[in-house]
Amino acid sequence: MKPFPKSPIAYLWLYAMKNKKIFLPLAICGILSVVLEKMSPYLFSQMVALFGEESKFADIENKIWFLLTGMVLATVFAKVLSNIFHYLSAVRFRATVYKQMSLDCFRYINGHSVSYFADNMAGSLAQKSEQLAGNASFYSALFYYLSDIVQLIVIFVMLMSVNIMFACAFMGFLLLSILVLFRIGKLSINLRSAMVEAKNKVSGQMIDTLQNNFFVRVFNGFDYEKKRLHKELLSESKITNKSVNVEALQSQGEKLYFQIIYILFLFYGFYLWKIGQIKAADMVLIFLLLQNVSDTVSYLIHRGIIYSGVFAEMRTNLIPFSQPHEIEDAVNASPLQVKQGNIEFRHVNFGYHKNRLLFKNFNLTIPAGQKVGIVGASGGGKSSLINLLQRFFDVSSGEILIDGQNIKAVTQDSLHQAISYVPQTSSLLERSIAENIAYGRVGATLTEVKKAAKDAYAAEFIEALPNGYKTLLNAQNQLSGGQMQRLSIARALLKDAPILVLDEATSALDSESEFYIQKAIEKMLQGKTVIAVAHRLSTLKNMDRIIVLEKGKIAEDGTLEELLNCKGKFYQYWTLQKLEGAKHE
Ligand SMILES: Nc1ncnc2c1ncn2[C@@H]1O[C@H](COP(=O)(O)OP(=O)(O)OP(=O)(O)O)[C@@H](O)[C@H]1O
Ligand SMILES: [Mg+2]
């Protein structure tokens, strides 16, 4: 999917063009209704002109009827078209575009890389997406705005028919005033942007606290969070007040200014009439047209300033959607074909920060079907290694190959399809247990889900829950760490991919959970190429090979016996864990 345009106009235009079939009739109805609406004053002035002619009523009667009928028809059609316009823009167009925008935002934002989500608050991204899709209702406002511009053009054309000098002077003066007042309005636009930013900060902070409610509670952080929120709210209300005051002042000032201009131009009209350059009927037309102009123009400026604010908000909201995805499929990416499941890291260089490499010329070959346990001190790069294999991050140089295919050259979908991943921290969705397990394979039946749960030694505790597989996982229905791990394992079992990546949680488990998880892992390992970050001795016993990872380097590599015999780092971990285990028993 392509990034969204950076400019709000281009963004709105994109969806207008996607829905040409509704948009074009909409535009035509909008413009026609405005033109027809302005026909009445024109026809009325023509009538006044007829009365002014010194002829008998019988001579002009037909013309009068004709003009009156014209006025009625113009008014009726203007109303009908404006209603059609309103229905098309506010109902049909808005609903269709809102759906498209929401889905596109959702699809695009989810394409960002794992690191993007680590750096950006999910709550704030969701809010930006919601606000962007909410702009579907902004089209109507813009249409009314555009129709006012069309109105001004129609008025200009009519004034031209009266007196070219008058029309040019009036419109010239009007345009100049609009430009100057817009410049002054810039001040409030900047204030609006700052206000949007301040509002986003407030809701971002609220969402962050709510999402991490558990941690905040554990660290007694509610008072601290309240103080932080209070500070954000204070700066938000300060900037909001300033913005509202400036806008109100501008709006009142403009109205007064245009009233004065209106009166001055009426004098000018009288002057032209006095020197015989225009007729009395023209004067009537000028009077009727100019009467509404001041309202229209101050509406245009005032709304223009507000809409510039909306555009500023849109521009800010568009940023995450116009930034290209950090990790994209190659142009000619083909699906990954896994026949055996060989994995190779070849001369890999990678660091989270450009000038701090975690892996330097890292090499590792895992033949198909081999089960490799990775151990090492915290921060040694174990999770990073499996993140790279799944292309959550791209290597700076070197290659990662699966069955000889560079993972950068295959589609990410097919890569993820080929790997069953059990993450270090179990991540479960706020849905039923059955849905969470079924996530492993689209379209899995309940029988398959139950089998996976049984193989993961999770069936027993699930069935003991009052709602069984239908139990909704949320804050109220929290499972224990060990139970959540078993659900993650059931999900991976159901996926049954040829490569298994396991990032074992370090959290200590009671020996019963440990026993069941171990059994579940044993089931999962069968017939797969495995990379398991393993903290437990029981898991390591199932491995064909063990790698000790220290600061991004392979410090030791061999079978369990070989590493124990060489009495190096691994031997130290092993004996330490044995001692710990003995202490607990
Ligand atoms: N998303 C990230 N952005 C920046 N640095 C990161 C990121 N993830 C990990 N790191 C850093 O990279 C290094 C390796 O981290 P990694 O998570 O791979 O360690 P680990 O071996 O899995 O540790 P543990 O046993 O605690 O899970 C650490 O210094 C860590 O701070
Ligand atoms: Mg880790």
Ligand nearest to the CA of 357: 1
In tens, the pLDDT along 493-530 reads 899 899 999 887 665 566 677 777 787 788 788 889 99
Q: Is the CB of 384 under 6 A from ligand 1?
A: yes
Please report, rounded to a whole number, the percentage of residues in the chain having pLDDT higher than 70.
96
Average pLDDT in the chain: 87
- Predicted confidence band at 417 (pLDDT cuts at 50, 70, 90)? very high
The residue-averaged pLDDT of 424-441 equals 88
pLDDT (tens digit, 9 = 90+) per residue, 205-254? 998 888 888 888 888 888 999 999 999 999 999 999 998 888 788 778 87
3-class DSSP assignment, residue 225 = helix
- pLDDT score recorded for residue 583: 59
- 53 pLDDT tier (thresholds 50, 70, 90): low
pLDDT at position 476: 63
Q: Which residue has the higher pLDDT, 497 or 582?
A: 497
- Enter the CATH code of domain 8-322: 1.20.1560.10
Q: How far, in Å, from the CA of 552 to the mean position of ligand 1?
A: 10
Quick one: pLDDT at residue 288? 82
Q: In whole angstroms, what is the distance from residue 111 CA to residue 1 CA?
A: 9
Q: Which ligand is nearest to the CA of 423?
A: 2
Q: Give domain limits for the chain.
A: 8-322
CA distance 461 to 105: 39
Q: What is the pTM of this model?
A: 0.75
Ligand 1 touching residue 331 (CB < 6 A): no
Q: How far apart are CA 402 and CA 426, in angstroms?
A: 26
Q: Report the distance separating Cα 555 and Cα 547, nearest Å.
A: 7
Token pair 């290597």 is at which residue? Answer: 395
**What is the DSSP secondary structure assignment for residue 336, as one 8-state letter?**
-
Give the number of other Cβ atoms within 10 Å of residue 129's Cβ: 20
Q: Which of 384, 394, 422, 539 to mutate to test the pocket of ligand 1 (most atoms within 8 A of CB)?
A: 384
Which of 357, 358, 387, 577 has most ligand 1 atoms within 8 Å of its beta carbon, as the pocket-test mutant? 358
**pLDDT tens, residue by residue, 70-109:** 999 999 999 999 899 888 887 888 999 999 999 999 999 9
Q: 299-345, pLDDT tens digit by residue?
A: 787 788 778 878 888 999 999 999 999 898 999 999 999 988 999 99
Is the pLDDT confidence value at 427 over 90?
A: no
Give φ, ψ of 395 to 5 degrees: -70, 150
Q: Which residue has the higher pLDDT, 414 or 423?
A: 414
Minimum-distance ligand 1 atom for the alpha carbon of 552: 14
The residue type of 161 is S
Decide: 32 in ligand 1 pocket, CB within 6 A. no
Residue 582 has pLDDT above 70, yes or no: no
* pLDDT score, position 580: 67
Residue 364 has pLDDT above 90, yes or no: yes
More confident residue, 416 or 509: 416
Residue 19 CA, chain-centre distance (Å), reads 21
